[in-house]
Amino acid sequence: MSHLFEHYGASGQGYSQPEPMIPTDDIKIPDSLVRSNLPRWPRISEPEMVRHYTWLSSRNFGIDTGFYPLGSCTMKHNPRINEVIAQLPGIADIHPLQPEHHIQGTLAIFHEMQEMLGICAGMDAVTLQPVAGAQGEFTAIRCIQEYFRSRDELQRTKVIVPDSAHGTNPASASMAGFEIVEIPSRKDGRIDLDALRSVVGEDTAAMMITNPNTLGLFEPDIAEAASIVHDAGGQMYYDGANFNAILGRTSPGIMGFDAVHYNLHKTFSQPHGGGGPGSGPIGVKSHLAEFLPGPVVRKRPILPGDKITAVNHEWWYHWYEPEHSIGKVQQWHGNSGAVIRCWAYYRRYGNQLKTMSEHAVLNANYLRHKIIEEAKEKGVSDLFCDGAPVDVAKHEFTLSLAPMKEKMGIGAMDVAKGLLDKGYMAPTVYFPLVVPECMMIEPTETESKDTLDEFAKKFVEVLQEDADTLHNAPVTTKVRRVDEVYAARNLTLSYQFSE
């Protein structure tokens, strides 16, 4: 194994730069601030640096490497044109403090994105500022909080989440200062309306829920849940993590939601980048619009004196600060580079975004069907069951490997590691928490039927392996099962220099 810090070449080796424009020896900074020791960074030439990171990349698995059925994460193909566009100087080399007449192009694209996202979710106003899904949740909950403050409804201190919710939901609401009320799901994985009725009241600020839920199932009673919350005076918040399943078929607005966040890095193909960057715009109904973080983009007809450019001969795009804005959640205008990529993605589908969602759902149901059929044929159907009863799944589905665990002592994690040996990324495991030995599978719309057929076959092959093989899996990967307990007990969070 090679570490970056073992490359420690000749002094001064590294990237070559022009000389400072004036000698710096005579420039005084306060004595107490003069750096005593330079950082022990590596000293490497460009070929060594390129080879190091290329080597590291060879030890990493991306969508480009192979099938990545990581449930809840929507690991769809990332079109490369988006990367090319994001490097154009008109986005990469502009500054958030430039005047409006310098950035009409960016504002035009932001405006188009605000409108498009509003239409897709059935919302009246959109801000692109939040930089990740969790920050979008937090932002929307803050808007709801200020909305109630403006109405003197200070007693609304509780946010309701189902026990199957993403962890970010309770974490975001709690950061905003709300108390969390968790309600149990029904045995079939759906929302329990009686449980909901029993907790709503004058102290309810909002309910946070995703639909399809984290089991990949559409909540048929969602409209009823919305009326229960609304009748109690609360707001409905839609976690957009699973938005990829429903575009053009239904919308949070129609279901009765007041606010929604979008994960542009899921639904609109911003690459996940090993953990980020993302982008988490939010949309709200009109009664919350003036609470959005500012500024948002608006347009007006062009007026005499406007500095016209190629894009604004009809409309002038300008910033607008919402009247009761909660302020900012990121210092500038959010992850603009991600928004531009997702604009390019949207342009590919336009009004046909529905087809994208249909194919996501088609692929998920087809894969589930193939796995079940294949397991029947190979006589291993008794090793798993549905995470919850399903007629038709949405963009993802859950399987419980509890029967296998009971019979052979093999759990979801062992099967996941077995799949790594077959050359696949493992599905999400042990989430949602309500399904024992859960495996959550989301193929996305960008996988071919052939890939799905092959995966179903290999998945069942893994189920047929003996217990020892799976306990020992993976064996074909760069390292074998990593000891996470050791990492936590022997914390080594940086390179230990020998001196």
Q: Which of residues 356-385 bind another protein (CB under 8 A)?
A: 356, 358-359, 361-363, 365-366, 369-370
Residues in 220-239 that interact with another protein by CB under 8 A:
220, 222-223
Contact between 110 and 271 under an 8 Å Cβ cutoff? The reply is no
Q: What are phi and psi of 451, to 5 degrees?
A: -60, -40
138 binds another protein (CB under 8 A): yes
Residue whose CB is less far from another protein, 324 or 328? 328
Q: Dig out the tokens for 446 from the structure.
A: 């960008």
Considering only 70-78, 192-200, 228-236, 457-465, which stretch makes contact with another protein by CB under 8 A?
A: 70-78
Minimal distance, residue 454 CB to another protein, in Å: 13
Q: Which helix (DSSP H) or strand (DSSP E) does residue 127 occupy?
A: strand 125-127
Sign of torsion, CA 249 251 256 262? Answer: positive
CA dist., res. 211 & res. 223, Å (int): 11
405 binds another protein (CB under 8 A): no
DSSP 3-state of 116: helix
Min. distance of Cβ 184 from another protein in angstroms?
Answer: 15
Which residues are within 8 A (CB) of 290 and not within 5 positions of it... i.e. 6 or more apart?
A: 322, 323, 324, 325
417 is a contact residue toward another protein (CB under 8 A): yes
Site for another protein in 421-440 (CB under 8 A): 425-426, 428, 431
| Max intra-chain CA distance, the chain | 81
Exposure of 54 by Cβ count < 10 A (0-12 exposed, 13-18 middle, 19+ buried)? exposed
Residue of 304, 492, 498, 499 that binds another protein (CB under 8 A): 492
Does residue 498 touch another protein according to CB under 8 A? no
Q: How far is the CB of 345 from another protein (least distance, A)?
A: 9
Is residue 418 close enough to count as binding another protein by CB under 8 A? Answer: no
Spatial distance between the Cα atoms of 370 and 231, rounded to a whole number of angstroms: 43
**Given 200, 207, 208, 338, the residue binding another protein (CB under 8 A):** 338
Per CB under 8 A, contacts with another protein among 3-62 are 3-5, 11-15, 17-24, 27-44, 46, 49-50, 52-62
Write out the binding residues for another protein, residues 244-263 only, by CB under 8 A: 246-251, 254-255
By CB under 8 A, the residues from 160 to 179 that bind another protein are 166-168, 170-178
Q: Considering only CA atoms, which of 472, 470, 452, 481 is closest in space to residue 404? A: 470
Please state the closest distance from residue 495 (CB atom) to another protein, in A. 4
CB of 109 to another protein, least distance (A): 6
Contact track, another protein, 459-488, x by CB under 8 A: -------------x-x--xxxxxxxx-xxx
Q: How far is the CB of 340 from another protein (least distance, A)?
A: 8
| Amino acid, single-letter form, for residue 242 | N
491: Cβ contacts below 8 Å, ≥ 6 apart: none
Count how many Cα atoms sit within 13 Å of the Cα of residue 63 in the half-sphere of its side chain.
23
Interaction of residue 79 with another protein, rule CB under 8 A: yes
CA distance 76 to 65: 12
Contact predicate 130/329, CB 8 Å: yes
Length of the chain: 499
Question: CA 118 to CA 289: how far, in whole Å?
Answer: 12
Query: Which is closer to another protein, CB of 3 or CB of 323?
Result: 3
Based on the shown chain and the rule CB under 8 A, indicate whether residue 305 belongs to the binding site for another protein: no
CB of 178 to another protein, least distance (A): 8
Report the SS3 class of residue 232. Answer: coil
Considering only residues 80 through 119, tell me which ones interact with another protein, judged by CB under 8 A: 81, 83-99, 101-106, 108-109, 116, 119
Residue 204 is inside which H or E element, if any? strand 204-209
Q: Which is nearer to another protein, 167 or 406 (CB)?
A: 167
Q: Which of residues 143-162 bind another protein (CB under 8 A)?
A: none
CB of 461 to another protein, least distance (A): 18
Based on CB atoms, which residue is closest to another protein, 403 or 419? 419
Q: How near is the Cβ of 420 to another protein at its closest, in Å?
A: 6
Question: Exposed, middle or buried: residue 174 (CB in 10 Å: 0-12, 13-18, 19+)?
Answer: middle
